[in-house]
Amino acid sequence: MPKKNPSVIRVLVVDDHAIVREGICQLLGEQPDIKIVGQAADGEQALAQVAALHPDVVLMDIAMPKIDGLQATQKVMAEFPETRVLVLTQHETTDYILPLLRAGAAGYILKAASAAELLRAIRVVDVEGAFLPSNVIRTLLDGVTQARAAQGQAPLTEREREILRLIAEGLGVNEVAKKLCISAKTVITHRGNIMEKIGVHNTVELIKYAIREGIVKV
């Protein structure tokens, strides 16, 4: 759908905190080239507003009730691909950034950004379709570096993956040993080998690794 007024960027503000929405709307309302067409407190409201208002840019929070920002972005991109989603959030890790970008978000900016940077992000996303600030790019590059370093690790054997999965599912050493018909000492040896290979130091880190690598589902 072509823009009714190419000189004005129509923005929908989505955040579950009213004080945040109001502050953003006050800032954007002072800009001659930006018009607030609506507000939403969760992803469900956002989808209804996008369908009704067809904004040019959706300023999208992540952590929201009912439907979160990731799910809402996926649905907006599937149904209204001409709409740009600019994620505005406090989360600065690849665990949040990458899924949103893969879902089709046009940009990602932190709530700690300055007002000038937020305005620039909205304008760039509207015209060019993509915006990432330098700190977000740096986070992504750090993630790539860590992933490359992880690729240098010796791969886990099938037995090690099996033991790691059971540990991540909450089984103790004796329970794992009984389930696999091996001794508890063997389980402890395997666990030590796994921890050395992946560079972790306790069970909590083991579980996080298993979840991140898809060895266990949550």
Whichever domain contains 24, its CATH number is 3.40.50.2300
pLDDT for 202:
83
pLDDT for 71:
96
* Domain assignment of residue 79, yes or no: yes
Domain coverage including residue 165? 158-212
Instruction: Enumerate residues 6+ apart whose C-beta is below 8 A from 42.
Output: 14, 16, 64, 65, 66, 67
CA 40 → CA 48, 59, 175, 188, distances in Å? 9, 10, 49, 51
pLDDT for 2:
53
* Domain assignment of residue 149, yes or no: no
pLDDT for 70:
96
Per-residue b or e along 14-26, where b marks 16 or more CB atoms closer than 10 Å to that residue's CB: bbbeeeebeebbe
Per-residue pLDDT of the chain (218 residues), as tens digits, is 556 567 899 999 999 999 999 999 999 999 999 999 999 999 999 999 999 999 999 999 999 999 999 999 999 999 999 999 999 999 988 889 989 999 999 999 999 999 999 999 999 999 999 999 888 888 876 765 566 555 556 678 899 999 999 998 888 899 999 999 999 999 999 999 999 888 888 888 888 888 888 887 65
Find the length of the chain: 218
Alpha-carbon gap, residue 127 to 170, rounded angstroms: 50
Are 116 and 175 in the same domain? Answer: no
pLDDT for 7:
85
* Domain assignment of residue 84, yes or no: yes
Are 107 and 177 in the same domain? Answer: no
Q: Is 30 exposed, middle or buried (0-12, 13-18, 19+ CB in 10 A)?
A: exposed
Are the C-beta atoms of residues 60 and 87 closer than 8 Å to each other?
yes
CA 177 → CA 14, 64, 125, 136, 200, distances in Å? 50, 42, 55, 44, 22
Q: What is the pTM of this model?
A: 0.66
Helix (H) or strand (E) holding 6: none
Are 134 and 54 in the same domain? Answer: yes
Instruction: Enumerate residues 6+ apart whose C-beta is below 8 A from 8.
Output: 33, 34, 35
Query: Sign of the C-alpha dihedral, residues 134, 138, 141, 143?
Result: negative
